[in-house]
Amino acid sequence: MTAIQMQKILQVRVAVFVAEQQIICEEIDDLDRAETTVHIWLEVDGNVVSVLRLLTDGPVVRIGRVVTAAAHRRRGHSETLMRQALDRAAPTGRPVEIHAQAYLEAWYGKFGFERTGPNFLEEGIDHVPMTWRGYPEAAHS
């Protein structure tokens, strides 16, 4: 990934999480530059419009920072990226965890994520812990 691509990824995240959702936190962190972090993004006409981050260095794989620019929502971009992320995670055999914004629980559920605990607040927003344990054998055999 080039420095310009990384800058475009971070611009989309800041626009949504900080400006739109008014999350007051350090949006850019050391995990963004870690060798074990995988950034997956989608471009339209040379502009990054949807991104997510895959953290691959622990006993579980973590997906986070899933975001699509406001003008590009409801076009399947996040779904495309989520499927790419799960395809990358599946061969590891490790579970995939997310902290999903609560209103998106059903959306993540359609990929096979299951709730694993009670709702909690993260940066003042209602979230739910969810885990994906791999594709059913019939789906990828």
Query: 3-state class of 60 per DSSP?
Result: coil
Residue type at position 9: I
Please give the model's pTM, rounded to 2 decimal places: 0.81
What range does the domain containing 97 cover? Answer: 3-140
Residue 141: CB partners within 8 Å, gap ≥ 6? none
Question: What's the CATH number where 39 sits?
Answer: 3.40.630.30
pLDDT at site 138: 44
At 70-127, the pLDDT tens digits run 888 899 999 999 999 999 999 999 999 999 999 999 999 999 999 999 999 988 889 9
Q: How many domains does the chain have?
A: 1
In the block, residue with structure tokens 């909690």: 120
Question: How do strand 47-55 and strand 61-68 relate by DSSP bridges?
Answer: antiparallel
Q: Distance (Å, rounded) from C-alpha 23 to C-alpha 139?
A: 37
- Is the separation of the CB atoms in 59 and 94 below 8 Å? yes
